[in-house]
A and B are shown apart, each in its own frame.
Chain A
């Protein structure tokens, strides 16, 4: 049984991620002030996804987790996506 957790991530690495997150926050605020029409929402979502990936991979150490856990996360996200996606078969075509 492995009692042990991951090796500690260096402070350097964590702060770099943090800085990146702040930069991305700035970018998303900036981009939202441009008028891109329907693209705005996708840009916002795209940047948010990028930020979320950083948090998940580094802050939450997913990068160092076994493949199994990555797969599980993928399944959870896929489930959510299909719930939303299938609902749209109703609302878009009503």
Chain B
């Protein structure tokens, strides 16, 4: 085992230049960190765009940008956040870092494919960014690329589509890798009933990645072909049907929201038992509900199309299925809360973020029910109510879980601890700023303010001003959080191998983990939440 002060897998080798040592590494931990850095960078880019959007919306009429710029801004904000941050986020970064460690494997099943995934992701991101400065200017379609607008706008949509296609490919390869890894590389004794819940959630996610992403791929290809040679498959003038595009798009993009949330739920399921010092309540139900969400979630895409001109029969079916998919989410929430019962709860930063997740995700999910109901969705569809809903689930849900994961696992990865007090303050500011930002958005949506509106009527101003002010509070909190984490990772006190006294396998290793994490597969003797066994394999 490694000696004190060892930098583990972070240790530079002297064989080749440092940079190459990283960007061509096939070690899952290094690839995980590559993802973490790139995902983090795009998050900051997306966030900056979000702040600009809010600034524009602080008052009716032109404020800081032209209408065309605004349209490009929210398109880019959506594309960056969805495809570059939230979808690859938790699986790419923490999945890669922790999945093999948690199941006691030496690495993922296909390490080189793993590196290829990251490179494809970077290539796609690079193309997405290039699309801003080349061709007919930044894409202005919204992240949904609805036809016929997207097939005729002169902006540089084709390149953005190609970028999305490539990033999708990267996502598929990650999925293939994870499913294979979980099936084949579990350490002896790590049977399915002992898989950490984070692994279960990644397993369910990976299946969605494998089976739904290709549909997005073909949709992007069709749209590109449409733009290049005008096949007319979605063009009503040539016998095509624009609504079919929406079906194809959402066949992927609804399941994609579960690609975003399932790993986040996995993180929360890891953290809550550790900080409540109690085994998860209803391990089996949580594991099964991950799979159920993945399966049922693939069948509800039509709820994005209630006012699209789709048939009423389809509305009936999709509305019913949408309501059903809420059930496994409810089961998870109840199980998390029940885990707290009679525990010994300590409110350290990871736990604070996890608890905030439960609250904010519940708000987001419950507003999802309003959207899933056909009658009410007619009113709030394409308003800021929807914008509020999805920021609650994506940022309040996945975003907060991502922050929780940072606070939970970074001490493992870097071997150093951040400042707890600063982290707690940052959490509080973020929590307040978040609600200040997005709650008014939902209200203004209920009053009828449509989304993707550069300019709005004066009666909507008050709530918009509050939201914009909230974005500044949120910005301050995020800044504090990142600075604190950064300083902690550079100069913090040594964290020790198991600062939280958790029982999953990654905590058995030193912090940072050695380059050869489990060269001998460990013999696993207990479940992931047998906290008395913490520190033993």
Does a CB–CB distance below 8 Å link A and B in the complex? Answer: yes
For B305, the closest partner residue in chain A by CB is: A90
B302, A86: Cβ atoms closer than 8 Å: yes
CB A26 to nearest CB in B, in angstroms, measures 32
B residues in contact with A68, CB < 8 Å: 183
Given contact pairs A79-B298, A82-B298, A90 touches B243 in the complex (Cβ within 8 A): yes
Beta-carbon contacts under 8 Å, A63-94 to B = 68, 75-76, 79, 82-83, 86-87, 89-94
Given contact pairs A76-B211, A79-B211, A86 touches B310 in the complex (Cβ within 8 A): no
A83, B314: Cβ atoms closer than 8 Å: no
CB A44 to nearest CB in B, in angstroms, measures 22
A–B Cβ pairs within 8 angstroms, 24 of them:
A75-B207, A76-B211, A79-B298, A82-B298, A83-B215, A83-B298, A86-B299, A86-B302, A86-B317, A86-B318, A87-B247, A87-B251, A89-B311, A89-B314, A90-B247, A90-B302, A90-B305, A90-B314, A91-B241, A92-B313, A93-B313, A93-B314, A94-B310, A94-B311
A residues in contact with B298, CB < 8 Å: 79, 82-83
A89, B313: Cβ atoms closer than 8 Å: yes
CB B418 to nearest CB in A, in angstroms, measures 40
CB B91 to nearest CB in A, in angstroms, measures 20
Listed from nearest, the 7 A-B pairs whose CB atoms lie closest are A93-B313, A93-B311, A90-B314, A89-B314, A94-B311, A90-B310, A79-B211
A residues in contact with B313, CB < 8 Å: 89-90, 92-93
Grouping DSSP codes into helix (H, G, I), strand (E, B) and loop, the A interface class, with mixed when no group exceeds half, is helix
CB B133 to nearest CB in A, in angstroms, measures 37
Beta-carbon contacts under 8 Å, B293-337 to A = 298-299, 301-302, 305, 309-314, 317-318
CB B243 to nearest CB in A, in angstroms, measures 7
Mask, B229-255, CB within 8 Å of A = 1, is 000000000000101100100010000
B317, A89: Cβ atoms closer than 8 Å: yes
CB A78 to nearest CB in B, in angstroms, measures 10
For B185, the closest partner residue in chain A by CB is: A1
CB A5 to nearest CB in B, in angstroms, measures 15
CB A29 to nearest CB in B, in angstroms, measures 28
A90, B311: Cβ atoms closer than 8 Å: yes
B residues in contact with A94, CB < 8 Å: 309-311
B residues in contact with A91, CB < 8 Å: 241, 244, 311
A93, B312: Cβ atoms closer than 8 Å: yes
Complexed CA–CA distance, A76 and B183 (Å): 17
B317, A82: Cβ atoms closer than 8 Å: no
B residues in contact with A83, CB < 8 Å: 215, 251, 298
B310, A82: Cβ atoms closer than 8 Å: no
Mask, A37-71, CB within 8 Å of B = 1, is 00000000000000000000000000000001000
For B243, the closest partner residue in chain A by CB is: A90
Complexed CA–CA distance, A26 and B158 (Å): 43
Given contact pairs A76-B211, A90-B243, A82 touches B311 in the complex (Cβ within 8 A): no
CB A4 to nearest CB in B, in angstroms, measures 14
Complexed CA–CA distance, A82 and B309 (Å): 21
B residues in contact with A90, CB < 8 Å: 243, 247, 302, 305, 310-311, 313-314
Complexed CA–CA distance, A91 and B211 (Å): 23
Complexed CA–CA distance, A93 and B243 (Å): 14
A82, B314: Cβ atoms closer than 8 Å: no
Complexed CA–CA distance, A79 and B251 (Å): 11
Complexed CA–CA distance, A82 and B313 (Å): 16
